[in-house]
Structure 1
Amino acid sequence: MWTEQFDGYCERVDFTFWSEPVNALTNLAFVLAALYVWPRTRDVPLARAMTVVLMLIGVGSFAFHTTATRWGALADTAPILGFILLYIFAATRDFFGLERWKSVLVTLLFFPFAAATMLLFAKLGLGSSSAYAPVPMLIFIYAYLLKDKARKTARGLAVGAGLLCLSIGCRMLDDPICALWPMGTHFLWHLLNAVVLAHMIAVYANHIGVKEA
């Protein structure tokens, strides 16, 4: 089961290791983004943890886009979910000053929130990308709630959410334009997401720095 292969992207034409060279190699962007943001997370432990997960996202996605296996898909998606949950916890605790147990509870509420909103986005025709659409929606909510309390942080979150919407759009276009552009657009999802995640880590680290200044 875990070694079963499947073709989910425009660029792949067979099940050889390098059948998705652009999709595979653009995962280097996650590693470079992690190396870029690492010095900016000094003395912010959760930001450091996010940076490590950011690098793991690149490694896992590379495994998926080279092997095209079920285990590769898990290696791809598990670090992404880990990053989302870690960020929700950190943002809830440190942006709003909630106690740890309340922040954990809010983090766990992401699952029913995502399940409900995924159904909405699926009905709107987002397809498999509906699984990711709840994330920018939640970021926009956090940005709105912070607009008076921490304007710079709110603005940073809104920018990140907007870029993520663009990234999801590129993911959605991969299949529809495949006949016209055989390379597809999934690689843009990688490149934009690397920027988005590094930006989101920086927003969090900067907020902590301002609070402690």
Structure 2
Amino acid sequence: MDWMEQIDIYCERTDFSYWSEPVNALTNAAFLIAAAYVWPRTKGAPLARLLAVILAAIGVGSYLFHTHATAWAATADTTPILLYILVYIYAANRQFWGLGWPLAALGAAGFVPLTIVATPLIERLPFFGISAFYWPVPMLIAAYAVALRHRRPETARGLAIGAGILCASLVFRSLDMGVCEALPLGTHFMWHILNGVMLGWMILVYLGDLRRSRALEGRAARG
């Protein structure tokens, strides 16, 4: 693999100069703002704190990709995203389902083959194909929301909202190259903004469930 290979897949980019995608680059601040917002709320919740750190890393990696536009920068962009997904699934399995760490980790690892199987199928769809790698994520979040709707209704609602925001975000990501003539700026920057909101929101959903569980345990201990 040529790590210095240059990549041009976004409407805003017109050449390979550093600031050819200024809006796409600068809107990665959404990830950093979201990480800074949730960080003080993660005290005493190590997995949530780890997710906040990864969320900031997503912003940095995506910034690098939208400025350098190379294969190594693309790896810096996608690796933290995959890591966030795997850590969140692990945390959700531990917290929402009460699984021990081996089963929780196995469930998180299962996302990889799920994506490998689902991506080629989604790629056949005319609109969804361009973001095929990402569509299994809102599908999985929605599945968790449905499965938890009776056991943990507040958490289920939070997850459903997260899935909805991500779907809207993916629509903007998928529209980008198709609207270049009408909108030279493209729509990819909205993927950044909505994704920053969504990933921060998902951490808050996890923290809310954790807080409610600890409150119940405290009442049980006092009773």
Shared topology, TM-score over 0.5? yes
Q: What is the aligned partner in structure 2 of residue 36 from structure 1?
A: 37
Matched, 1:137 2:136: no
The one-letter code sitting in structure 2 at the alignment partner of 1:165 is C
Q: Which has the larger radius of gyration?
A: 2
Offset at 1:128? 2.9
The two structures, once aligned, show a CA RMSD in angstroms of 0.7
Q: What is the aligned partner in structure 1 of residue 221 from structure 2?
A: none
SS at match of 1:203: helix
TM-score normalised by structure 2 residue count: 0.94
For each residue in 1:163-199, what CA deviation from the matched residue of structure 2 results, as whole angstroms up to 9, or x when unmatched?
A: 1000000000001111100000000000000000000
Offset at 1:159? 0.3
**How far apart, in 1, do the equivalents of 2:93 and 2:114 lie?**
15
Q: What is the aligned partner in structure 2 of residue 173 from structure 1?
A: 175
Q: What is the aligned partner in structure 2 of residue 94 from structure 1?
A: 95
TM-score normalised by structure 1 residue count: 0.98
Unaligned runs of 5+ residues in structure 1 are: none
Offset at 1:203? 0.2
Q: Equivalences for 1:157-172 in 2 at 5 Å?
A: 157-172=159-174
**How far apart, in 1, do the equivalents of 2:79 and 2:5 lie?**
18
**How far apart, in 1, do the equivalents of 2:120 and 2:74 lie?**
22
Q: What is the aligned partner in structure 1 of residue 198 from structure 2?
A: 196
The one-letter code sitting in structure 2 at the alignment partner of 1:118 is T
**How far apart, in 2, do the equivalents of 1:56 and 1:137 lie?**
24
Q: Equivalences for 1:54-203 in 2 at 5 Å?
A: 54-125=55-126, 126-203=128-205
For each residue in 1:58-94, what CA deviation from the matched residue of structure 2 results, as whole angstroms up to 9, or x when unmatched?
A: 0000000000000000000000000000000000111
Offset at 1:123? 1.5
SS at match of 2:197: helix
SS at match of 1:131: coil
**How far apart, in 2, do the equivalents of 1:4 and 1:112 lie?**
28
SS at match of 2:205: helix
Offset at 1:3? 1.1
After the TM superposition, list the runs of 4 or more consecutive aligned residues in structure 1 that deviate by more than 6 angstroms: none
Unaligned runs of 5+ residues in structure 2 are: 216-223
